Structure 1
Amino acid sequence: MKTVIRAFFRALRAVLGPFMLLKERLTQPTGVQRAPAAQTAVDLQCQSLALYQFSTCPFCIKVRQEMRRLSLPIEKCDAQHNNAHREQLLQGSGASKVPCLKITEANGQTRWLQDSSEIVDYLRERFAAPAA
């Protein structure tokens, strides 16, 4: 039974995936415009972040859209097709659930956020654009 369910969802992803990616591409938000120095500072901060994701996961799409809206060049790690990334996700967070944001603190500590809403809230709080 488990095999049948997995096959069903794989087929569903194969059919719906291209439409989800097309919608993501067509509805890309305009990124925040920052002063060059401010954007450079944001770019440096983003080097300590990595998003483990699947390309057609709707929750991952939600996080990627927010990354675009905030102009964040966060590394994206494909945990669906890349076994090394999947293994890193499993070892670091304890599950292969996506999206998952790996946050490496300045002191070397690593923490993992596993919920799309928590990830979006974290990104908005940390990288919110200053009010005009």
Structure 2
Amino acid sequence: MSEESESQDPSEQRRLQRKLDQALEGLVLYERKWCPFCMRVNLSMRSLGIDLERVDIGEDPEAAKRLEQEGGKRMVPCLFIPDGQSGQWLYESADIVDYLRALVEEMAPRE
């Protein structure tokens, strides 16, 4: 945690955390445990201090089927972003990390 966030009012920290939790609500990371690109996304999530629902398509055939049918391909990592009725499917680990980083930065307090 940065010095800036440590010096913040605890109630402000809770408010920002609730706001971030709402922004992350419904996001699902489709992955495989052995996938190095999935590991990259998971390490980035850990460093950003966020936790998402994660689904291993090797262990969940229904999730694999949904990923392929709705996302268009059976490639991981893939981040499902709820957006109205259909949602968006974001592939490529770098794009996923950039998206998540932008969400966290959007919630950061302004000086």
CA RMSD of aligned residues (A): 2.2
Q: 1:46 is matched with which residue: 24, 27, 34?
A: 24
Show the counterpart of 2:47: 69
Cα shift readout 1:60-96 (whole Å, capped 9, x = no counterpart)? 0100111111122211011112101111111111111
1:130: how far off? 2.7
Count of residue correspondences: 101
Show the counterpart of 1:88: 66
Show the counterpart of 1:121: 98
Alpha-carbon distance in structure 1 between the residues aligned to 2:51 and 2:86: 21
Alpha-carbon distance in structure 2 between the residues aligned to 1:47 and 1:84: 21
Alpha-carbon distance in structure 1 between the residues aligned to 2:69 and 2:94: 22
Alpha-carbon distance in structure 2 between the residues aligned to 1:109 and 1:91: 12
Show the counterpart of 2:56: 78
- Pick the structure with greater CA Rg: 1
**Alignment TM-score, normalising by the size of structure 1:** 0.68
Give 5+ residue unaligned stretches, structure 1: 1-29
Show the counterpart of 1:16: none
**Alignment TM-score, normalising by the size of structure 2:** 0.80
1:42: how far off? 1.1
What secondary structure does 2:88 align onto? strand
Alpha-carbon distance in structure 2 between the residues aligned to 1:68 and 1:37: 20
1:36: how far off? 1.4
Alpha-carbon distance in structure 2 between the residues aligned to 1:123 and 1:65: 12
Alpha-carbon distance in structure 2 between the residues aligned to 1:123 and 1:73: 11
Question: Highest relative contact order (Cα 8 Å, sep 6+), 1 or 2?
Answer: 2
Show the counterpart of 1:6: none
1:48: how far off? 2.2
What secondary structure does 2:66 align onto? helix
The answer on whether the counterparts of 1:54 and 1:79 sit within 8 Å (CA) in structure 2 is: yes
